[in-house]
Chains A and B, each alone.
Chain A
Amino acid sequence: MDAIRREEIDYLAAVARIRVLETRLLRDQEIDRMLDMQVADDVWKMVRELWDLPEEPLQDFERVLGEHLTGLYSYVTSFLPSPDVVYWLGIRNDYHNLKVLLKEALLHETANEGAFSDLGTVSVSQLRSQLDAFEEVRPHEHEPEVLVSWQERLPASYQQAVGDAQERYQATGDPQIIDVVLDRYQLGDSRQQAEVLGPEIHEMAVALGEMANLKILLRSNKLGKSLQFLRLALVEGGKLPPYRWEELLGRAADEVASSLGSPYEELIRSAGADPGRVEREADNFILKMLKTSRYVAMGPWPVVAFLWAKENDVRNVRILLSGKINGASTEAIRERLRDTYV
């Protein structure tokens, strides 16, 4: 307990700076103003002014937003007492890059440059070289850790995930299995690593796993997926054991809602059982959890909440700009926007 308290105090200055950065997160009024704008250029101009972005043309907005996010992550990391929370958030990006690299290797395809995330904890080139040496490294697993430098090896959880995905792909020849296995490992790994980062972050990691399970179940029902697929895709370690989710395969959304109870029932009912809307409600649910960080003065929780909220903002801007560029109606854009943090 003492250790945690001391760590939380270490974050005191960082949280103060986070509070300043939070003032630049998007507010509902700003989102409404952007929604009312007729032209995408005006929305882009407003976003550039709000976030001090370089004057780049509208068609480059994806790149500019990506660079903005990468810059923000490195800035936040620079004033944190420990980069653990940023690393924790980067796990999903590492797994994403692993998925791309594994698909490249197993399917003999070359991924576009844009397929890789810059927000991982390990650079893509390092992951690539480690993955290339994966087969050579594995036979030495029994050797003491000191014999194989940690820099030359993938983290143990990544190794296990990659090995499992490779094995299952070779057995089935189904590329979907690569994503399914790595997604499951990613959510499990996130949950496990969150245990040392504090109860709130752990609770968030569990909720992310639960929301992923809800998404997987509803989409499996819609796409007519098998029980075998669901078993492989479901994330363990949540409040509901996997068999509870498995029981609901092939059931109507109403039945799923009433069987799962709170908070899933409200989520499903408010979204009208449409998986796309459930996804939006699930994102809002996580954002609601993050809002508790506003009453926390120290510790890593406000940092995680801010970075997550920033990514949420970037997604909202992307939805707004894509919608405006392609002439989508205001209502169509609004119903896809996620809630704001501030």
Chain B
Amino acid sequence: MEIRVNATRMELLKLKNRVRMAQRGHKLLKDKRDELMKIFLGLVRENKEVRERVERLLGQAYRSFLVSRAVMSREALEEALMSSRDELKVSVALKQVMNVVVPQFKVEDADESSVYAYGLATTSAELDDALGAFAAVLPDLIRLAEVERSVEILADEIERTRRRVNALEYVLIPELEVAVKNIAMRLGEMERSNATRLMKIKDIVRGE
């Protein structure tokens, strides 16, 4: 959309300042986008690694649980898993990455042995292996949740920043530059017209 302003020197100065400001903002946003992109790609790589590890470990844990499920009767298993010895506490903090707020989850004092909340005489040792495997995968699972949420938030922010950069680069800055150019041309024209008028007046005055 064309910027409509009065063709005055004041407006020209204002517009030139806006162009400078927009170019500076554009550079800053571009840097921000590049930096966010770098962090985003790092997190995506980590996300891939952690997800693969979690899927592998969960697969092993489920296979192990399947064995204990087969060896123990349904009622024995239901009874054994009715309770846990401790509550798992996860603290949630917020961290700023390039002014973007991402979550940070931390398991507080996780005691792996707290998952074994059943008697050892009437349950199967296979259940220990299964629950041990589930307990072992938990920190990775929580890290995965943190990374995946951060990736989502960063992706949104990158998208927003990209739109701003594009708006500045392809819309606002060109329009401001056109407006500056138009005012400069109009002012130049006015100046030339003034000069012509003055010369004409001078000729008239000399002829008299």
User: How distant is A194 from chain B, measured CB to nearest CB, in Å?
Assistant: 17
- Interface residue ranges of A116-167 to B (CB < 8 Å): 116-117
User: Inter-chain contact count A-B, CB under 8 Å?
Assistant: 119
List residues of chain A with CB within 8 A of the CB of B113: 223-224
Query: Which residue of B70, B71, B79, B129 is within 8 Å of A111 (Cβ)?
Result: B79
Contact assessment for A103 and B128 in the assembled complex, using a CB-CB cutoff below 8 Å: no
- Interface residue ranges of B87-138 to A (CB < 8 Å): 113, 116-122, 124-126, 128-129
Decide yes or no whether A62 CB sits under 8 A from chain B.
Answer: yes
Cα(A116)–Cα(B128), bound, Å: 22
Contact-residue bracket for chain B: 20 to 34
Decide yes or no whether A112 CB sits under 8 A from chain B.
Answer: yes
- Interface residue ranges of B40-91 to A (CB < 8 Å): 63, 66-67, 69-71, 73-76, 78-80, 82-85
Decide yes or no whether A92 CB sits under 8 A from chain B.
Answer: yes
Max count, chain B CB within 10 A of own CB: residue among A96, A109, A179? A179
Contact assessment for A176 and B85 in the assembled complex, using a CB-CB cutoff below 8 Å: yes
Q: Which residue of B lies closest to A234 (CB)?
A: B121
Max count, chain A CB within 10 A of own CB: residue among B63, B70, B73, B121? B121
List residues of chain A with CB within 8 A of the CB of B82: 100, 103, 107, 109, 111, 115, 175
Q: A275-B128, A276-B126, A315-B73 are in contact. Are A115 and B79 (CB under 8 A)?
A: yes
Size of chain A's interface in residues, with CB distance under 8 A?
51
List residues of chain B with CB within 8 A of the CB of A72: none
User: How distant is B66 from chain A, measured CB to nearest CB, in Å?
Assistant: 5
Cα(A146)–Cα(B153), bound, Å: 73
Contact assessment for A223 and B119 in the assembled complex, using a CB-CB cutoff below 8 Å: no
Q: A100-B79, A103-B83, A115-B82 are in contact. Are A219 and B119 (CB under 8 A)?
A: no
Contact assessment for B70 and A319 in the assembled complex, using a CB-CB cutoff below 8 Å: yes
Q: A96-B76, A109-B83 are in contact. Are A176 and B119 (CB under 8 A)?
A: yes
Contact assessment for A112 and B119 in the assembled complex, using a CB-CB cutoff below 8 Å: no
Cα(A116)–Cα(B125), bound, Å: 21
Decide yes or no whether A183 CB sits under 8 A from chain B.
Answer: yes
List residues of chain A with CB within 8 A of the CB of B128: 219, 222-223, 275
Q: A174-B85, A319-B71 are in contact. Are A276 and B124 (CB under 8 A)?
A: yes
Cα(A189)–Cα(B129), bound, Å: 30
Contact assessment for B83 and A107 in the assembled complex, using a CB-CB cutoff below 8 Å: yes
Cα(A116)–Cα(B116), bound, Å: 20
Contact assessment for A215 and B120 in the assembled complex, using a CB-CB cutoff below 8 Å: yes
List residues of chain B with CB within 8 A of the CB of A100: 75, 78-79, 82
- Interface residue ranges of A92-111 to B (CB < 8 Å): 92, 96, 99-100, 103, 107, 109, 111
Decide yes or no whether A253 CB sits under 8 A from chain B.
Answer: no
List residues of chain B with CB within 8 A of the CB of A112: 78
Query: Which residue of A96, A109, A111, A223 is within 8 Å of B116 (Cβ)?
Result: A223
Q: Hey, which bits of chain A sit against chain B, CB under 8 A?
A: 62, 66, 92, 96, 99-100, 103, 107, 109, 111-112, 114-117, 174-176, 179-180, 182-184, 186-187, 212, 215-216, 218-220, 222-224, 233, 235, 274-276, 278-279, 315, 318-319, 321-323, 326, 328, 332, 336
**Interface pairs (12), CB distance under 8 Å:** A115-B79, A116-B75, A175-B85, A179-B122, A180-B120, A183-B119, A219-B125, A233-B120, A274-B125, A275-B128, A318-B73, A322-B69
Known: A117-B73, A176-B116, A233-B119. 16 other contacts (CB 8 A): A99-B119, A100-B78, A100-B79, A114-B75, A115-B79, A175-B82, A175-B83, A179-B122, A183-B122, A186-B122, A224-B113, A275-B125, A276-B71, A276-B129, A315-B71, A336-B71
